[in-house]
Amino acid sequence: MQILVTGGAGFIGGHLAESFLDDGHDVTVLDNLEPFYAEGIKRHTLDVHREVADGRNVEYRFVEGDVRDPATVQELVTDADVVVHQAAQAGVRESVDNPRKVTDINVDGTVNLLEAAKEADMKRVILASSSSVYGKPKSLPYEEDHPTEPVSPYGVTKLTQEHMARVYTELHGLPTVCLRYFTPYGPP
């Protein structure tokens, strides 16, 4: 299977891309190498991808680009069976300081991807959401049907992303799933 991982040089996307390669899938990574996280760590992640791909004899391609570029997204989605959309401008504080940038990347970038995917014969689009969509807890522990009342621009963009995915499923039959991550941690 050919898998496109957006944000594939980041923490979660990098580990997913590595796992897909190790499982024998062909992987394309799209990442803009935004220095929100250390670029050296991202470059190391890409090196690991190449090593795993070589060892498993599968195809691996890294494209330095941005989900905000519709032409790049269209080209890469056309070649994929599945898209794992991890690209985002993360961070609640960043979203408070730069709400336009966060909205541009998280919402407009996602719409570019969904538009491209609806034109392709896509098996599935998997999108990264966030527990930030919940806002302040009404009850604990959180459950999936907990009310969504985000308290930051970041949370709003992730909830918007979920709604856009649902609408593309309902209107266009595009198979989507959104994963609401809580704060991930682990080795780089």
CB neighbour class for 45 (10 Å; exposed up to 12, middle 13-18, buried from 19): buried
Element (H, E) at 36: none
Catalytic residue among 37, 60, 134, 154: 154
* Cα distance between residue 73 and residue 78, in whole Å: 8
154 an active-site residue?
A: yes
The C-alpha atoms of residue 86 and residue 19 are separated, in whole angstroms, by 14
Half-sphere exposure of 128 (CA within 13 A, CB side): 23
For residue 130, give the 3-state DSSP assignment: strand
Closest CA to 104 of 69, 142, 132: 69
Which of the residues are catalytic?
A: 154
